[in-house]
Amino acid sequence: MKLEQATIKDIARELNVSSSTVSRALKDYPGISDETKRKVKELAEKMNYRPNAIALSLRKSRSFTIGVIIPEVVHFFFSTVISGIEEVAFSRGYNVILTQTNEKLAREKSSVDTMLSNQIDGFLVSYSKETTDFNHFSRLLDQGFPIVFFDRVPEIEDSVNVVVDDFKGSYEASKHLILQGYRRIYHISGPVQLKISKERLRGYQAALEDHGIKFENSWVIECPRGDENEAKEITLEILKTNSEKPDAFFCHNDMAAVGVMMACKEMGLKIPQDIGVVGFSNWQFCTMLDPSLSSVAQPGFKMGAKATEILLDIIEKKINTKETQNTFVLDTELLVRKSSVKI
Amino acid sequence: MKLEQATIKDIARELNVSSSTVSRALKDYPGISDETKRKVKELAEKMNYRPNAIALSLRKSRSFTIGVIIPEVVHFFFSTVISGIEEVAFSRGYNVILTQTNEKLAREKSSVDTMLSNQIDGFLVSYSKETTDFNHFSRLLDQGFPIVFFDRVPEIEDSVNVVVDDFKGSYEASKHLILQGYRRIYHISGPVQLKISKERLRGYQAALEDHGIKFENSWVIECPRGDENEAKEITLEILKTNSEKPDAFFCHNDMAAVGVMMACKEMGLKIPQDIGVVGFSNWQFCTMLDPSLSSVAQPGFKMGAKATEILLDIIEKKINTKETQNTFVLDTELLVRKSSVKI
DNA sequence: TTGTAGGCGTTATCAG
DNA sequence: CTGATAACGCCTACAA
């Protein structure tokens, strides 16, 4: 029951011309009589002719398809990025093949393989949490295969990256807490192997240092999963056991911030009076929480759009990887809401 | 700078055998000496051979790729569906090409065209709000092209659909509020032209009737945009002006429920003591609200997974469209949380 | 202005 | 057990 698509041959046979004539007529090549062009186009329309992109890909070794590898689709930030990718790809005539790794390295590798099999023209990648060695990517980069990394970017020479300014976003958020009068600011951090976690940690530390706050290592707690339950557990433990208690939390993501808020409420602490909280990512739910959660907004759509533009420019050789800068940094925006405004 | 992929021919040349031999050896066809097999496989490995899926597609007129057309990616429910789609597709060896229509009919049509050009094996579609005539789909269905619709399904004969049971979900939610002792249960409804809005309204009304509650039309308020601000405004107005005040709200979506909760808090009403609230969709943030929001969970992942399984079964001719039922209804699940438990 | 032939990478078919 | 050939649909040098 397959779709019987008309081919160039069909048109040619019907019109008693050669298939090259049809091919040329359809593409308005010079040296084809207007008469023939007209007839060909008319019949093509009538037969509902549609060029076979697969045949074209084979011929040109170009698929006009880009592969997107992402940890999770059900994730506000990433879905926003996908939206940006899709938008630009569509407008420039490219298809988007999508896979999610579910944070599994094995799946990431296997996706790379199938996508390469499918002759994609380039990759857009945000790698999984399990990914610590980048051979499966650097091998491709060495061969000159177009890859643009976004958000989670590797520390490989010559890789092209699009990131947000995690350091600055983190710095601003921490500074904001300090200016609000919070002093014992803890940091719920992400998985330390991720560069974004490191950057956010650095920004936090820099802000504290710059404002003369002496902090201890015990103020930084890693939350590898980064969901609200994990953060809640950890926060409860801190609030119950630590002798010197925190008066604010800067969290590496919003879900962790929710966990912190839950724990505080459970312990009878008032936000923002007793404890200030700031998250990261500005998920939709920030405004829905009580109190509303201050957060560092990441420009997801813009990141997807930018990464795609760069990738397509590389593919179409409008820019040369070697000559261009290789890390594009997008600005974050601190959105101050009730959870961190003491005064 | 293109990736120079080794082909079967390369292996053949190197080994001084024909390409058919290599092809057969790689696929463990019978009638190839173990010796040859070993040599071929070894070299293939060494040359990092990867079959060209494009060539295969051309040969077999099958691309092992399915096209997904969805209104919006940045939407919790849809992103969950995508996740389900991706999961099943991946495990059965299919690729997923994705486009979002942004609720535009023109974009929907154009996506259908490019995907067909790309020789996809089938479609998974949730159509746009602008789509009122389905010629671009029914034409394909008539030709026997595999399409499965989900969530937003057309009223076309023979179309295969996957939906959730909005009526029942709505009924259960309303019944739950009644059993909790709420009596004046208002309904914040969605855009009345959407089938899901109608179904949810029907379920609500049926539950009230079945439990002997006389309700008035004024209890149903349409919230066309369906976001929290709109719902908040409307709720405030109700709470301020109505002489007979509601003691519960059943909302057609979670964002509206958030608006209701905000309004109640602003008016000094306690949830769930004074006002019970139930939402619909079970967005991630339900558990993060204070109090946590009861909601009717729609099985998005399951919907994506189910739709994909059916589609692939149709593609692989494991089932015949004509012989199978054509609408699959998935059950919702009422998740009772604090916002609606009075007792 | 149009036609012919070859090839993109693969596999099915028919010969050896 | 292995090889040659044709074909999937399209494009493009080269020929006419």
Whether A63 contacts chain B with CB within 8 A: yes
Name the nucleotide with the smallest C1'–CA separation from B59. Answer: D8
The whole-angstrom separation of Cα B67 and Cα B96 is 6
DSSP one-letter code for B328: E
The arithmetic mean of pLDDT across residues B289-302, rounded, is 95
Whether A268 contacts chain B with CB within 8 A: no
Q: How many residues does chain B have?
A: 343
The whole-angstrom separation of Cα A293 and Cα A316 is 43
- Indicate yes or no: CB of B83 within 8 angstroms of CB of A61: no
pLDDT at B3: 58
The arithmetic mean of pLDDT across residues B310-319, rounded, is 91
DSSP one-letter code for B326: S
- What are the structure tokens assigned to A60, written together? 């040109």
Question: Chain A residues with CB inside 8 Å of B288's CB?
Answer: 228, 255, 258, 262, 285, 288-289
Mutate to test the interface with B, among A98, A101, A324 (most CBs of B within 10 A): A98
Alpha helices by DSSP H, listed for B284-323, are: 300-315
Identify the residue whose Cα has the smallest distance to the C1' of D9. A55
pLDDT per position as a tens digit, A292-303:
999 999 999 999
pLDDT-based confidence at B322, cuts 50/70/90?
low
Whether B324 contacts chain A with CB within 8 A: no
The whole-angstrom separation of Cα B23 and Cα B28 is 9
The whole-angstrom separation of Cα A276 and Cα A261 is 9
The whole-angstrom separation of Cα B27 and Cα A61 is 24
Bases along strand C below 7 A from a protein CB: 1-5, 7-13
Name the nucleotide with the smallest C1'–CA separation from B12. Answer: D3
- Indicate yes or no: CB of A285 within 8 angstroms of CB of B288: yes
The arithmetic mean of pLDDT across residues B101-110, rounded, is 94
Closest CB to B118 among A4, A54, A58 = A54
pTM, to two decimals:
0.88
Q: How far does the CA of B1 sit from the C1' of C3, in Å?
A: 35
Q: Which residue has the higher pLDDT, A195 or A181?
A: A181
- Furthest CA-CA distance within chain B: 92
pLDDT at B1: 42
* Cα–Cα nearest to A114, from B47, B24, B122, B51: B51
First to last CA, chain A: 70
Q: How far does the CA of B10 sit from the C1' of C6, in Å?
A: 19
Strand ranges (E), chain A: 65-70, 95-100, 122-125, 147-150, 160-164, 185-189, 220-222, 248-251, 276-281, 294-297, 327-330, 333-335
User: Residue A1: is its pLDDT beyond 50?
Assistant: no
* Torsion angles phi and psi, residue B249, rounded to 5: -130, 130
Give me the sheet containing B248-251, strands edge to edge: B220-222, B185-189, B248-251, B276-281, B294-297, B333-335
Name the nucleotide with the smallest C1'–CA separation from B19. Answer: D3
Whether B138 contacts chain A with CB within 8 A: no
Percent of chain A with pLDDT over 70: 97
Alpha helices by DSSP H, listed for A187-299, are: 195-210, 228-241, 254-266
Whether B106 contacts chain A with CB within 8 A: no
Mark A140-162 as b/e (b = at least 16 C-beta within 10 Å).
bbeeebbbbbbbbbbebeebbbb
Vertex B261 angle, CA B259 and B265, to 5°: 120
- Average pLDDT for chain B: 92
Strand ranges (E), A126-254: 147-150, 160-164, 185-189, 220-222, 248-251
Identify the residue whose Cα has the smallest distance to the C1' of C8. A59
DSSP H/E element including B109: helix B105-117
pLDDT per position as a tens digit, A215-269:
888 999 999 888 889 999 999 999 988 678 899 999 999 999 999 999 999 999 9
User: Residue A323: is its pLDDT beyond 70?
Assistant: no
Contact assessment for residue A340 and residue A175, using Cβ atoms and an 8 Å cutoff: no
Residue B56 Cβ < 7 Å to strand C: yes
Residue B28 Cβ < 7 Å to strand D: no
Closest chain A C-alpha to B69 CA, distance in angstroms: 12
User: Residue B335: is its pLDDT beyond 70?
Assistant: yes
pLDDT per position as a tens digit, B23-40:
999 998 888 888 899 999
pLDDT at B319: 82
User: Residue A31: is its pLDDT beyond 90?
Assistant: no
Question: Chain A residues with CB inside 8 Å of B72's CB?
Answer: 83
- Indicate yes or no: CB of A54 within 8 angstroms of CB of B54: yes
CA closest to B94 among chain A residues? A114
Total CB pairs under 8 A between chain A and B: 153
Whether B288 contacts chain A with CB within 8 A: yes
- Indicate yes or no: CB of A79 within 8 angstroms of CB of B73: yes
Chain A span 5-34 residues with beta carbon within 7 Å of strand D: 5, 7-9, 19-20, 23-24, 26-27
- Average pLDDT for chain A: 92
pLDDT per position as a tens digit, B41-98:
999 999 999 999 999 999 999 999 999 999 999 988 999 999 999 999 999 999 999 9
The whole-angstrom separation of Cα B299 and Cα B210 is 26
pLDDT at A110: 94
- Indicate yes or no: CB of B58 within 8 angstroms of CB of A63: no
The whole-angstrom separation of Cα B80 and Cα A147 is 27
- Strand A294-297 relative to strand A333-335, pairing: antiparallel
pLDDT-based confidence at A40, cuts 50/70/90?
very high
User: Residue B22: is its pLDDT beyond 90?
Assistant: yes
- Indicate yes or no: CB of B95 within 8 angstroms of CB of A73: no
Residue B45 Cβ < 7 Å to strand D: no
Whether A103 contacts chain B with CB within 8 A: no
The arithmetic mean of pLDDT across residues B109-128, rounded, is 94
Bases along strand D below 7 A from a protein CB: 1-5, 7-13
The arithmetic mean of pLDDT across residues A196-213, rounded, is 95
Strand ranges (E), chain B: 65-70, 95-100, 122-125, 147-150, 160-164, 185-189, 220-222, 248-251, 276-281, 294-297, 327-330, 333-335
Domains of chain B (ranges; CATH) run: 3-51 (1.10.260.40), 62-163+300-329 (3.40.50.2300), 166-298+334-340 (3.40.50.2300)
pLDDT per position as a tens digit, B200-227:
999 999 999 999 999 888 999 998 888 8
Percent of chain B with pLDDT over 90: 77
Whether A106 contacts chain B with CB within 8 A: no
CB count, 10 Å around CB of A323? 6
DSSP H/E element including B46: helix B34-46
The arithmetic mean of pLDDT across residues A17-30, rounded, is 91
